[in-house]
Structure 1
Amino acid sequence: MRGFGDLESAIMQALWDQDGPTSVRQVWSVLQPDRPLAYNTVLTVVDNLYKKGWLHRERDGRAFRYWPKATRADYGVQLMRDAMAESGDPAGSLVNFVRQLDDQQSAALREALQTYEAGENPS
């Protein structure tokens, strides 16, 4: 699995922030304040994300509405798993990762491990 490109990532973030199926025009509008892009550029990238299997879509008149197949958290998990697998030394990669965490991130990791060990579902 490869991470998203810059525009792909911005589009996925916009889709993850929506409550449900979203038109390309809505995504384009969300991106406009920070990224003045042509509508067709956004349309092409959304279609590419659909073809790559990242998005669901349903017809809405002459257009489509799109929504992510995976959650933002699921995507992050898969990136971490792929990075560990490609490192050749998963345990070493985890140790180096933990060394680079700040105090807040370390606390979150401890809490996640305690939740996992207790067999609880995360909130």
Structure 2
Amino acid sequence: MVASRGQTRGRGDLEQQVYAALAAGGGPMTTADVRDALGSELAYTTVMTVLARMQTKGLATRIRAGRSYAYSAVVDAAEVTAHQIHRLLDARGDRAAVLTRFARGLSPEESQLLLDLLGPDAEPEQT
């Protein structure tokens, strides 16, 4: 779903929409393919810029397709969400405060899952 004229998108919303279109595409998609999948309301150059930025971030790969490129999603939705959380944490000054408030909002089941994932043998991933 694309925001209509006069509506503003949240930061990252367009990237998420483009990623969703790539992931649902089932194979490499050109800029025009992605634009069509999004409803063709966006400028071609806007979609092209988003795809290029996603490729730079490692969220998509591209291969030559004639005079253009065809893009593919390279990570699953969970990894994209995790990447976005890391970016949000990086943008805030007090990680401990953000993580504390996040943890307080978890259900008992989610808390247990997190504890299991962070068990004694778990090593933090390097990002």
The higher-RCO structure (CA 8 Å, 6+ apart) is 1
**Is there any run of 5+ residues in structure 1 with no aligned partner, and where?**
none
- Where in structure 2 are there 5+ consecutive unaligned residues? 1-9, 123-127
How high is the TM-score relative to the length of structure 2?
0.61
Q: 1:20-31 residue pairs with structure 2 within 5 A?
A: 20-31=27-38
Equivalences, count: 113
1:74 is the counterpart of 2:76:
no
Alignment of 1:1-123 (within 5 A): 5-32=12-39, 36-50=41-55, 54-101=59-106, 103=107, 107-117=109-119
Structure with the higher helix share, 1 or 2? 1
Aligned identity (percent) is 30
Residue 28 of structure 1: CA displacement?
1.6
> Equivalent residue of 1:58, what SS?
strand
1:83 and 1:41 map into 2 onto residues whose CA distance is 23
Please tell me the residue identity of whatever aligns with 1:11.
V
Q: Structure 1 residues 95 and 36, CA, compared in 2 at 3 Å: closer, same or farther? A: same
Q: Residues of 1 paired with 2:50 and 2:91: CA distance?
A: 27
The SS at the match of 1:36 is: coil
> What is the one-letter code of the residue matched to 1:15?
L
User: What is the root-mean-square deviation in Å for CA atoms of aligned residues?
Assistant: 3.3
